[in-house]
Structure 1
Amino acid sequence: MNIFLHELRANGKSTFIWSISLIMVVVLFMSFYPSFAKDAEAFTKIMEGYPETVRNLLGVNLGSFFTILGFYCFPLTFITLCGAIQAMNLGTSIISKEVREKTADFLLTKPVTRTKVVTAKLLAAFTSLVLTNLVYLSAASIIAFQVKNENFSFKVFIMLSLTMFFVQLIFLAIGFMLSVMIPKLKSVLPVSLGTVFAFYFLGMFSDTTGEDAKRYLSPFKYYDTAYIVKHAEYEAAFLFAGVVIIIIAVISSYVVYTKKDIHSV
């Protein structure tokens, strides 16, 4: 419990900054909604000038773009990207910071198993993401109700917002695995940004081909916002794929870490 609370406090400043940043992004974008909705015809002509692939990359579906839910999908693309970077940073720093700061040997001399240490750290990172999403969802809900010009399904709004959390969990698990697999991770940021953007560009590639099978290459494409708005549900196959990735990454990380050599200072 002490390790969990220590990690939670250590992540507190970062969690606060990410939460405020995500709120600022959603407030900035959603404040434009009344103007877009008012001049829907003019903006439709502008958006029709862009190729469908580009519109898909931006999360723009002309069929629903000028509804509050359809418009929300637009900033959610960028918000999810930011959330993925936060999760990846947390995941890659779980173990690597102990080696980088030369405190791993001290920590592991305490009367706790490696499994308990890693579990406490992973739970702290998970809790940080939960807090971020609770704060973000509260702020996003308030701004959505403030700018809406017609009633909308709050259930679908919640489902759309939760896609960021689901993507974050996947990147948290991937980052956790990398923190264990890479012997000496000197800097978290390059690995985090490189991994997140690599998957983001893979998602862009899947959009250009239009093949559903290639969507499995990128967690960013597991939750199709247009599908969620239309059907008020997630695609089961991609939801299952995300769960499988998380389970495999976490289990393999535990197995490797409990057996790996930890060099002393």
Structure 2
Amino acid sequence: MTQRFDNKVVVVTGGTSGIGLATAKAFVEAGASVFITGRRQDALDAAVKAIGGNVTGVRGDMAVLADIDRLYDAVQQRHAQIDVLFANAGGGELAPLGAITEEHFQQTFDSNVKGVVFTVQKALPLLRDGASIILTASTTSIKGTGAFSVYSATKAAVRNFARSWILDLKDRHIRVNAVSPGLTETAGLNELFGGGDQAASTKDYLVGLIPAGRIGQPEEIAKAVMFLASDDASYVNGIELFVDGGQAQI
């Protein structure tokens, strides 16, 4: 399945690595004009180079409202509207109950919840009627995960945003959907599991829990995002699309 996004304007937050990078690259290859964000200039420059084509990098932390404003100012300098918004920026760290600090809680909710709310809200004046918004949730939105409760709670919130915002935006015919990746081969995953042999052994264990028998690739998540963004999904609204090899279904 191939979607074309010629003359479409796409914003991908958290687009310097992993799922965001793969998705931004896929949109550019499909003809879109793409804007990506990242917190580190060196990573942003590297991503723009890796993506190639019609892509613009805007440095910013989506948990900082002034940075979100700068992103949309950059978009407005070149385009009158946004067709697709992929609110993907976020992350998390392991912290079991009993070791959760206020800093951990605040940082995770700022990145994954506050950032998503204001990334979408501040985009509304630029989003065209009939636009598509895709939010990055996670299989943790519906499954319990040890030492990952704060992150999981943020992703459950993100999933509910999709349900609620389709009501707020129904008069503008803007669709909002959530994509929930499962275990995906990214640098962030390796960092989460401690890197090296520890990360490898943890992933080997988790693969045994996935019916597909393997870890997903960022490009596979990107294809799901592009489907949700496309006219092929014109009657798909408010869903949580699991891209996880079946793990959330058992």
Output the TM-score relative to the length of structure 1.
Answer: 0.29
Q: 1 or 2, which has the higher helix percentage?
A: 1
The structure that has the greater radius of gyration is 1
Q: 1 or 2, which has the higher strand percentage?
A: 2
